[in-house]
Structure 1
Amino acid sequence: AFVANHSLIMASYISRANAALIDLKLLLENG
C-alpha cells in the first residue's frame, strides 16, 4: 500500500513539474 501511494505521489509531482516546465517554456518563447 505504501509503495502504491508513493508512486501516485511521484506521478502527481512529476506531472506538476512537467506542467510548470511547459508554462516556463511558453513564457520564454512568447517573452
Structure 2
Amino acid sequence: HINILLSSWVEFMHFIIMLFDVKSIVVNKPIGT
C-alpha cells in the first residue's frame, strides 16, 4: 500500500523536475530566435 503512494510521489517529482527543466530552457533561450 505504501509502495503505490511512493511510486505516485516519484512520478509527481519527475513531472515537477521536467517542468522546471522546460522552464529553464525557455528562460535561457534568447528571444527572437
Match of 1:28 among 17, 26, 29: 26
**Greater radius of gyration (CA):** 2
TM-score, normalization by structure 1: 0.82
Q: Provide the alpha-carbon RMSD of the alignment.
A: 0.6
More helix by share: 1
Deviations 1:4-31 (A, max 9, x none): 1100000100001100000000000011
Q: May I ask how many residue pairs the two structures share in their alignment?
A: 29
* Structure 2: stretches of 5+ with no match in the other structure: none
Aligned structure 1 segments of 4 or more residues deviating by more than 6 angstroms: none
Q: Percent of pairs identical after alignment?
A: 21
Q: Which segments of 5 or more consecutive residues in structure 1 lack a partner in the other structure?
A: none
